[in-house]
Amino acid sequence: MTIDDVRARYPALAGAVYFYDPGQPVTLEILTPAGESFSFTAPTVAECVAKAFPEIEDSWKFAFAAQSRKLQHVLHIPGVKEALAELEHPEPAEPEQTLSREATVRVMSSLAAAISLLERSPKKAAASNKMFDQMLDDYRKALGAARAELNPGPAEPEPEAPAASVFD
């Protein structure tokens, strides 16, 4: 974007480009209709313009900064801070984090399949056999808890772990 592009896109802005010392960076100063002044310094005019008017993907940063400045001005109005302090601030409600029965069954099926594969594979997925066995035990308990949650009633006995394999 060039200075001419800036003038066409933002006709309400005024500005100046200056470079007082030979070989030193350039400064672009932008003046808003509200009287705000913003300065950007870089080695070239083009780099100053790029800093002042970032590409579309960074435009949210510019908008956020502008909103932040507006909020700062509002907070300096007499009585605003006091009025904000008097407002009630209710605690946010806890979002309900539940899966549908179908999604839960799919997750449980995947966990059961993973347990089955791990039980029949060499114990190389963990640093030690003890850690591997504990991991499988935790997976089995998690699957059992999920089954009990979906099907309340008499608890089913957990299946026995398979006998040691030739890989142990």
Question: What pLDDT digit, counting tens, does each position of 120-142 carry?
Answer: 777 766 667 777 788 888 888 88
Q: Say yes or no to pLDDT of 106 above 50.
A: yes
pLDDT tens-digit map of 63-94: 667 777 777 777 778 887 788 778 777 777 77
CB 38 within 8 A of CB 29: yes
What is the pLDDT, as a whole number, of residue 161? 57
CA distances from residue 33 to 11, 14, 36, 121 in whole angstroms, order as listed: 10, 8, 7, 71
Kindly report the average pLDDT of the chain as a whole number: 78
Q: Rounded to two decimals, what is the model's pTM? A: 0.35
CB 1 within 8 A of CB 15: no
What is the pLDDT, as a whole number, of residue 56? 45
Tokens at residue 50, please?
């790029």
Question: Which strands make up the sheet holding 37-42, listed edge to edge?
Answer: 14-18, 26-31, 37-42
